[in-house]
Amino acid sequence: MISPRRVAVYAALTLFSLLFLLPFVWQLGTSLKTPAEIATGTFNLFPAEPQWENYAEVFRRAPIATWFFNSAFIAIVGTLGATLTSAFCAYGFAVLHARGSRLAFGMVLLTILVPYQVLIIPEYIVWAKLGLINTPLPILLPWFLGGGAFNIFLLRQFMLGLPRDMVDAARVDGANELHIFVRIILPMCAPALAIVAVFHFIYMWNDFLRPLLYLPDPSAMTLPVGLSGFVNKFARQWHLLLAGSVIALAPLLVIFALAQRVIARGISIAGVRR
């Protein structure tokens, strides 16, 4: 028999879940309304007759498909680069234990304290002198050069808790460090790698400042930057604005729905490493 306490806990969790879902449901419902329905101000989540042509109208008025492809390309490639290179760095800090590695790791963590706004001007000057403005390289290349301090920290903490017996046995058998990293460490780090990949994809997909700086051409814009122009171009056309927002939000909801167990497992495992 289910205890009253458990029933109360589940009821509270259900209530809070509905409260969190309410803005998303309202956003989807309003994107399917006509301007006249929105202007009435009445609170109804879904219209009597959903206007699916609002989404077709958004695609007709703006190059949404191009912006979506640009965002997907940058997010996928940047996530692959950050996940792979951060795993390399974390392996060096957690497994190799080279002289001065603790100091180097501390310096890596200090970079988290440096706000990106401080680096905007010197970075932009460097990429401009290299002639790479209006290309995705200024956004992607940095993630292939270390993967980010937070990703390195998370993976290092996870690797510190892995059993060293397998690594030592592989070294005794003559395996080199690359073989150990690819065949032993990476498979054991699958939960942590998954959480890094998911979080970094969300970050890259939502990134606004870097694409705004380095991709001024409308054909090279990402979805967040392109949608920001909706505020002026489609002022007070809330059904179109919200339809564009739903299109931008949909991939993140799909990824979270598919990877929620991996995210929960990765956070619980990585969070307890020393």
Q: What is the mean pLDDT of the chain?
A: 85
Give the per-residue pLDDT at 204: 93
**Single pTM value for the model:** 0.85
Are 79 and 166 part of one and the same domain?
A: yes
Name the residue range of residue 198's domain.
63-270
CATH classification of the domain holding 137: 1.10.3720.10
User: Which amino acid, residue 73?
Assistant: F
Are 244 and 119 part of one and the same domain?
A: yes
Are 5 and 80 part of one and the same domain?
A: no
Question: Residues 89, 101: contact at Cβ < 8 Å?
Answer: no
Give the per-residue pLDDT at 41: 67
Ramachandran class of 180: left when φ > 0, alpha when ψ lies in -120 to 50, beta otherwise: alpha
Cα-Cα-Cα-Cα dihedral sign, residues 92, 94, 95, 97: positive
CB crowding 177-215: b at 16 or more within 10 Å, else e: eeebbeebbeebbebbbbbbbbbbbbbbbebeebbebbb
- Cα angle value 217/52/18 (rounded, 5°): 95
Are 43 and 157 part of one and the same domain?
A: no
Are 130 and 28 part of one and the same domain?
A: no
Give dist(CA 52, CA 49) in Å, integer. 9
- Residue 34, SS3 per DSSP: coil
Q: Is residue 57 part of a domain?
A: no
Are 122 and 22 part of one and the same domain?
A: no
For 98, list phi and psi in degrees, rounded to 5: -75, 160
Give the per-residue pLDDT at 270: 52
Crossing angle for the helix pair 149-160 and 190-206, nearest 10 degrees? 170
Cα-Cα-Cα-Cα dihedral sign, residues 126, 118, 226, 146: positive
Give dist(CA 274, CA 268) in Å, integer. 13
Give the per-residue pLDDT at 273: 47
Give the per-residue pLDDT at 235: 66
Give the per-residue pLDDT at 268: 63
Which residue ranges in the chain fall short of pLDDT 70?
1-2, 41, 234-235, 265-274
Model pLDDT for residues 179-197, shown as the tens digit of each residue: 888 888 888 888 889 889 9
Alpha helices in the chain (DSSP H): 4-31, 35-40, 53-61, 64-91, 101-110, 116-129, 137-140, 149-160, 165-172, 177-180, 186-188, 190-206, 209-214, 223-228, 230-233, 238-270
Give the per-residue pLDDT at 101: 83
Give the per-residue pLDDT at 71: 94
Cα-Cα-Cα-Cα dihedral sign, residues 118, 121, 126, 131: positive
Are 93 and 41 part of one and the same domain?
A: no
Whose CA is closest to 149, among 82, 99, 243, 51? 82
Q: Is residue 58 part of a domain?
A: no
Are 67 and 46 part of one and the same domain?
A: no
Give the per-residue pLDDT at 274: 44
Are 107 and 232 part of one and the same domain?
A: yes
Question: Residues 220, 213: contact at Cβ < 8 Å?
Answer: no
Give the per-residue pLDDT at 266: 61
Tokens of 92: 């060096």
